[in-house]
Structure 1
Amino acid sequence: MSKNIHITPREKGWAVKIEGNQKASKVLPTQQEAIEAGRQKAKDNHSELLIHSKDGKINRRDSFGNDNFPPRG
């Protein structure tokens, strides 16, 4: 399973961080730039993008996995 990608606030911008890594992959000036970079990384890795608000809480989730569609069952 691929590791989730988090967009988190930093003192000087917004970080794109792969879950489990100590350091951010990138720190960008705006949340939107970080979301775009994180979304591409999540698509490439078939993982989930978790976007945090300024207070650090998860605000939104986008999944880019290989889900079966239509779902079975």
Structure 2
Amino acid sequence: MGKNQHVTPHSKGGWQVIGAGNDRATVRTETQAEAIQIGRRIAINQQSELVIHGTNGQIREKNSYGSDPFPPKG
């Protein structure tokens, strides 16, 4: 399982896709929709989770593309 991918606002404008624990963005885009599309492809490829943040930085949505246990624990 790969690193979770986060879609967050970029400090210089636009949006970025960044792997969990990374210092640098994987990609920077003009729109959030573009970043989500790229982040989703990476998360599917790595069988990880896509975490989408809003403009305020708070988590807005999570999508898992890994092998989640069913039924979920807890």
- Given the two structures, how large is their TM-score scaled by the length of structure 2? 0.88
Amino acid aligned to 1:60: E
- Give the match's secondary structure for 1:54: coil
- What is the CA–CA distance in structure 1 between the aligned matches of 2:51 and 2:69, rounded to whole Å? 21
* 1:26-53 Cα shifts (integer Å, max 9, x gaps): 0000000000000000000000000000
Compute the RMSD of aligned alpha carbons: 1.5
Instruction: Report % sequence identity.
Output: 45
- Structure 1: which 5+ runs fail to align? none
Aligned pair count reads 71
Moved >4 Å (runs of 4+): none
- What is the CA–CA distance in structure 1 between the aligned matches of 2:54 and 2:29, rounded to whole Å? 15
Establish whether residue 64 from structure 1 lines up as the match of residue 27 from structure 2. no
State the Cα distance separating 1:68 from its structure 2 match.
4.7
- Give the match's secondary structure for 1:38: helix
Establish whether residue 2 from structure 1 lines up as the match of residue 15 from structure 2. no
